[in-house]
Amino acid sequence: MFSTSCHYGLQGMLYIAMFSSENKNVDLKQIATEQNIPKHFLSKILQELVRNNLLISMKGPTGGFRLSRKPEDITLIEVIDAIDGLGVFTKCGIGFKQCNDSNPCPIHEEYKKVRNQVEELFSTKTLLELTEDVRRGDSIISLGKKEE
């Protein structure tokens, strides 16, 4: 449903939410290494998130990335919108370009329900909720280390 860029953007945002603060940035190389994402590709994705006001980028020895707002104020759908756009929530499940409510494909109605549930999930889940799940040990994600 989402592009590789979008998946990497979501993973990068979660990593930054876990390890950055108002006074601490997370280095691009650290994110790329810990998340096993190609550094050059991740750099382009994170710059797109900076342009969409989801991240702040700083240069220099203490540079890197941090969230532009508190993690409880950033929903996952904002990341999706910045990278893939919200059109992913209206596309046909089998890829027919002309599929819509008045001209449905064979799975249109069932897929529409699932797609709407996914959209609702990403609209309500915040970065804070995800970081809390990880910190409690309720979720496992590919982070090279846990925050101390």
| Annotation: CATH topology of 4-136 | Arc Repressor Mutant, subunit A (1.10.10)
The candidate with the shortest Cα–Cα distance to 13, out of 148, 129, 121, is 129
Q: pLDDT tens across 41-80, in order?
A: 999 999 999 999 999 999 988 889 999 999 999 999 999 9
Residue 68: what are its φ and ψ, rounded to 5°? -85, -20
Q: pLDDT tens across 20-43, in order?
A: 988 899 999 999 999 999 999 999
Tokens of 68: 């532009």
Residue 57 DSSP SS3: strand
Mean pLDDT computed over every residue of the chain: 92
Q: How far is CA 91 from the centre of its chain?
A: 19
pTM for the predicted model, two decimal places: 0.88
